[in-house]
């Protein structure tokens, strides 16, 4: 059954990642938004650090940092380890460079989509907020049907595609140990599914509490270990940078086989890692209680940079500086590559560290991914989904985590690539159409900052129609 599914999904994914489809939409859209925002990634980069630690506007609200940690829990995960090493193993060292490019350009897309989510967010019964792309598609674009389709794709992407992939990537890191057997994926799958089920049944507040603690700690530890590895392999660093840039601009090789090139793999895995432009992070961004929509846009932009330019780069540098050559087995299963590289640099501690890091990364990825799903279910239903229906969905999501551990590498990667491609194809054109409100919010924010104010957003004063807004009046 897995083989049949993989054949169909692989064919669809192959079409989506032709140069004229997802790569063109993602990069061209990001460039347009970068130009329109006057390179917001650079000129307001330091500002994003200032706003991230602001307290919520009202007592008990979710802070920018809290919303950031939920989206970062999804972004900073198995993609930062296995996704990066997979891109390098298949596409060469230059894939890391094109991941950087995807992140830098994608920063503008992340700002626009999250700012739009803030502008068009909805008020919950307890006074808190929720929202995301489905809501700005319905209210700003006037196309609720498109929001429904997009919500379905989000649920499939995160509950099925990404969570199955995260589960598989976790169990695959244990292949480096002698105790690994045919039963190991099953055992890991049961443990992971049980822990996942406990958390998701606890609800969103518990999710935010868990991710708010775990994500920063594990991120810092991971970067520190990466620095240690670079120090150990310091003599290899010049050759590493030479290889990255030579491979990145080896256009004869790239266009001789674009599907497996460093550009394609850099785009695929960069997108999987940072999710900029996909329309996922706006669901978390809409929950933040801020005084101005642009603030959360800046915060989510920062998340893209932290993910790719810091965590992903750390992984890339660790494997490339090790000097370990890539084998066919490593191309098929990138966990073998990162484990071999870490073993070369840190001895027996290396594979153990990766296994522990993957366990933590995978767990926060699973719960961060799931956080996007229930809000989408409510949008599809047009009302609050019943407790019974939610419980059934949570149980199905839990089972899918287990299925991911026993699936094949090719199948889980192809499913994830296909579904994230669908999200890009829908969301990027939408935010290009709707960029005007986001740019008005940005201009309003910059104007107030120049006046020495802590920006507070009032839609009409910024030149926006507030008739369909539940906030900002």
Res 208: pLDDT:
53
Count of beta carbons in the 10 Å neighbourhood of residue 252: 6
| Rounded to 5°, angle at Cα 400 from 396 and 406 | 150
Cβ 438 vs Cβ 445: under 8 Å: no
Q: Which two tokens stand for residue 67?
A: 């919303």
Q: Smallest Cα–Cα separation from 341: which of 319, 315, 314? A: 319
Helix ranges (H only) for 177-327 are 184-202, 204-232, 237-248, 251-256, 262-274, 281-285, 293-305, 313-321
- 3-state DSSP assignment of residue 122: strand
Count of beta carbons in the 10 Å neighbourhood of residue 205: 10
Maximum distance among all Cα pairs of the chain, rounded to whole angstroms? 65
182: left (phi over 0), alpha (psi -120 to 50) or beta: alpha
Res 211: pLDDT:
56
CA 6 to chain centroid, in Å, comes to 23
Cβ 401 vs Cβ 164: under 8 Å: yes
How do the domains of the chain map onto residue ranges? 50-407
Strands 129-130 and 122-123, by their bridges, are antiparallel
Cβ 192 vs Cβ 405: under 8 Å: yes
Cα–Cα separations (whole angstroms), residue 215 to 100, 361, 407, 429:
21, 8, 27, 31
Count of beta carbons in the 10 Å neighbourhood of residue 336: 20
**Distance in angstroms between the alpha carbons of the first and the last residue of the chain:** 54
Res 69: pLDDT:
66
| Rounded to 5°, angle at Cα 442 from 440 and 445 | 110
Q: Smallest Cα–Cα separation from 358: which of 198, 89, 171? A: 171
pLDDT in tens, the chain (473 residues): 667 888 888 889 888 888 888 888 988 999 999 999 999 998 998 898 888 777 776 665 666 676 666 666 656 667 778 888 888 888 888 889 988 988 899 999 999 999 999 999 998 887 788 899 999 999 999 999 999 999 999 999 999 999 999 999 889 889 888 888 999 999 999 999 988 888 887 654 455 555 556 667 777 888 899 899 999 999 999 999 999 998 888 766 555 555 556 777 777 777 767 777 888 889 888 888 889 999 999 988 988 888 888 888 988 999 999 988 888 888 888 888 989 999 999 998 988 888 888 887 787 788 878 878 888 998 998 877 888 888 899 999 999 999 999 998 888 888 998 999 999 999 999 999 999 999 999 999 999 999 999 899 999 988 998 888 889 98
Q: Classify 50-407 by CATH class.
A: mainly alpha
Entry pTM: 0.88
Residue the block writes with tokens 């054109």: 429
Q: Smallest Cα–Cα separation from 118: which of 460, 388, 459? A: 459
Q: Which two tokens stand for residue 397?
A: 């999501």
Q: Which two tokens stand for residue 95?
A: 């894939």
User: The dihedral of CA 46, 48, 50, 52: what is its sign?
Assistant: negative
Res 75: pLDDT:
61
């Amino acid at each position: 059954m897995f083989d049949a599914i993989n054949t169909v999904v692989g064919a669809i994914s192959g079409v989506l990642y032709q140069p004229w489809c997802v790569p063109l939409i993602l990069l061209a859209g990001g460039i347009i938004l970068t130009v329109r925002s006057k390179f917001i990634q650079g000129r307001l980069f330091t500002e994003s650090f200032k706003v991230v630690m602001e307290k919520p506007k009202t007592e008990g609200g979710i802070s920018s940092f809290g919303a950031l940690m939920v989206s970062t829990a999804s972004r900073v995960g198995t993609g930062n380890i296995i996704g990066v090493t997979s891109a390098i193993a298949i596409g060469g060292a230059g894939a890391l460079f094109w991941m950087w490019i995807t992140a830098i350009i994608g920063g503008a897309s992340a700002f626009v989509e999250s700012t739009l989510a803030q502008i068009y967010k909805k008020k919950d019964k307890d006074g808190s907020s929720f929202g995301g792309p489905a809501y700005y598609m319905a209210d700003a674009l006037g196309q609720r049907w498109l929001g429904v389709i997009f919500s379905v794709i989000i649920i499939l992407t995160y509950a099925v595609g990404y969570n199955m992939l995260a589960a598989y990537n976790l169990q695959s890191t244990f292949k480096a140990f002698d105790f690994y057997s045919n039963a190991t994926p099953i055992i890991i799958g049961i443990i992971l599914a049980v822990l996942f089920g406990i958390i998701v049944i606890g609800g969103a507040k518990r999710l935010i509490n868990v991710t708010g603690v775990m994500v920063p700690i594990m991120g810092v530890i991971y970067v520190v270990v990466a620095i240690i590895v670079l120090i150990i392999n310091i003599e290899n660093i010049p050759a590493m940078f030479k290889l990255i840039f030579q491979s990145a601009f080896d256009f004869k090789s790239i266009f001789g086989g674009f599907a497996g090139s460093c550009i394609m793999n850099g785009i695929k895995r960069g997108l999987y890692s940072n999710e900029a432009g996909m329309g996922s992070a706006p669901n978390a961004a809409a929950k933040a209680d801020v005084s101005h929509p642009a603030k959360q846009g800046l915060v989510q932009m920062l998340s893209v940079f932290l993910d790719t330019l810091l965590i992903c780069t750390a992984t890339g540098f660790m494997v490339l500086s090790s000097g370990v050559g890539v084998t066919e087995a490593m191309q098929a299963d990138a966990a073998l590559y990162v484990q071999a590289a870490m073993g070369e640099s840190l001895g027996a501690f290396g594979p153990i560290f990766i296994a522990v890091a993957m366990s933590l990364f995978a767990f926060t990825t699973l719960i961060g991914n799931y956080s996007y799903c229930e809000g989408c279910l409510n949008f599809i239903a047009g009302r609050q989904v019943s407790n019974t229906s939610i419980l059934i969905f949570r149980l199905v999501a839990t089972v899918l985590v287990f299925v991911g551990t026993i699936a094949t590498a090719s199948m889980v990667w192809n499913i994830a690539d296909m579904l994230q491609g669908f999200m890009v194809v829908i969301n990027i054109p939408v935010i290009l159409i709707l960029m005007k409100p986001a740019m008005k919010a940005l201009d309003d924010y910059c104007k107030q900052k120049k006046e020495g104010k802590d920006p507070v957003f009032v839609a009409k004063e910024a030149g926006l129609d507030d008739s369909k807004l539940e906030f900002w009046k």
